[in-house]
Amino acid sequence: MDSALAVLNAAPLWLVVTIKSALLLLVVVTTFAYAMLAERKVMGWMQLRPGPNRVGPWGLMQPASDAAKLILKEDLTPSTADPLIYKLAPFISLLTAFSVYAIIPFGAGSQGTWAIGNVDAGILFLMAISSLGVYGISLGGWASGSKYPLLGSVRATAQMISYELAMSLSFIGVLILAGTTSLDGIVSAQARLWFCIPQAVGFVIYVITAVAETNRTPFDLVEAETELVGGFHTEYSGLRFGSFFIAEYVNMLTVSCIATLLFLGGWNAPFGLTMVPGVLWFVAKVATFMFFYIWLRATLPRLRYDRLMAFGWKVLLPVATLNLIVTAVVVAVRG
């Protein structure tokens, strides 16, 4: 390991960063593939059935066979669609989902051993990139030239922008406590106490809005297969559908990483268990959060659309604002 690091230090920086970027993307896509398998397995167990178990031992080759099938499927463009935007939409979704990882640090080390870029405006970059993801979904549904996708995408846009508001407000409590927007700085500010304890309300709001932002159950009104067939990606087939699918799961992973960095102490070890490396703690926390997502999907029914919008605007927004004022009062009084 040390000799490998020495070789890395001798190489030009741009080469090292390019290799690291490619490796990180590979890890992210592989994680997506096995997160999908894990979801099907865990859902199976929760519903008392075995889940995928035919392809390879324990179903472990399932993601590879799914990928091969998606790549070889026919790529259909409906005659009513706008061909350019129809093809652009999954590309936008995928690119924004991948781009967020440019600044996420996975472990300690200021020289960027475990991160691509360590920028000071970390949270702002994160919000800026992740909020672009809505374009992929709204353009995809609109450009399909078909009714169900259009309804799905308009719903999705309204839902995502409504919940993004409460999400950006839930970060502010963390910023007040940490006093910095750099993700590295926020994690080191949690060395003694994770922010999910003093910011419990903010954490709950973040979890709810995060599930809504990634369009997962119980907020999956975007797909709502009982009323909208397949939602915004009804007309998509093959790898273009796959792109939306990858983007959804990569976004879930991103959300889990942000929850870990901002509220769950990042790579800080709990109970002083520092003999386990920080990166492993980070991975463990992210995996727990991902499991929580799957658990939710197996447990909760879908919300009604009017209740979803009312909940976002009438409950989450005022509660998030109150939470940030209370945090500010405590900081102003105690210093």
Partner 1 sequence: MNPYGPVAIYLCVALAAALLFTFLPGLLGRKKPNPHKMEAYECGVEPTSAVAGRFPIRFYLVAMLFVIFDVEAASFYPWAVQMHSLRVFGLVEMVVFVIVLAIGYAFVWKKGGFQWR
Is position 228 an interface residue for partner 1 (rule: CB under 8 A)?
Answer: no
Q: 67 vs 298, which CB is nearer to partner 1?
A: 67
Least distance (Å) from partner 1 to the CB of residue 313?
4
Q: By CB neighbour count within 10 A (0-12 exposed, 13-18 middle, 19+ buried), where does 155 fall? A: buried
Q: Which stretch binds partner 1 (CB under 8 A): 36-44, 49-57, 198-206, 306-314?
A: 306-314
Shortest Å, Cβ 281 to partner 1: 24
324 makes contact with partner 1 (CB under 8 A) = yes
Question: What is d(CA 106, CA 41) in angstroms, rounded to the nearest whole number?
Answer: 26
Residue 306 in contact with partner 1, rule: CB under 8 A: yes
Applying CB under 8 A, among 117, 132, 188, 287 the residue interacting with partner 1 is 117
78 binds partner 1 (CB under 8 A): yes
- Give the Cβ contact number of residue 22 at 10 Å: 10
Q: Where are the beta strands (DSSP E) in the chain?
A: none
Radius of gyration of the chain measured on its C-alpha atoms: 21
* Distance from C-alpha of 129 to C-alpha of 123, rounded to nearest angstrom: 10
Which of 252, 262, 244 is CA-nearest to residue 292?
252
Quick note: the x/- pattern for partner 1 over 245-274, rule CB under 8 A, is -x----------------------------
Closer to partner 1 by Cβ: residue 20 or 297: 20
CB atoms under 10 Å from CB of 274, counted, come to 10
Residue number, 157 or 256, with CB nearest to partner 1: 157
Distances (CA, A) of 182 to 6, 90, 120: 28, 30, 4
Three-class SS of residue 210? helix
Angle, CA of 151, 221 and 233, to the nearest 5°: 55
Binding part of the chain for partner 1, among 118-126, 205-213, 255-263, 273-281 by CB under 8 A, reads 118-126
Based on the shown chain and the rule CB under 8 A, indicate whether residue 107 belongs to the binding site for partner 1.
no
Number of residues this chain uses to bind partner 1 (CB under 8 A): 85
Q: Does 216 bind partner 1 (CB under 8 A)?
A: no
Q: Is 242 in the site for partner 1 (CB under 8 A)?
A: yes
In degrees and rounded to multiples of 5, residue 85 shows phi and psi of -70, -35
Nearest distance, CB of residue 138 and partner 1, angstroms: 10
298 binds partner 1 (CB under 8 A): no
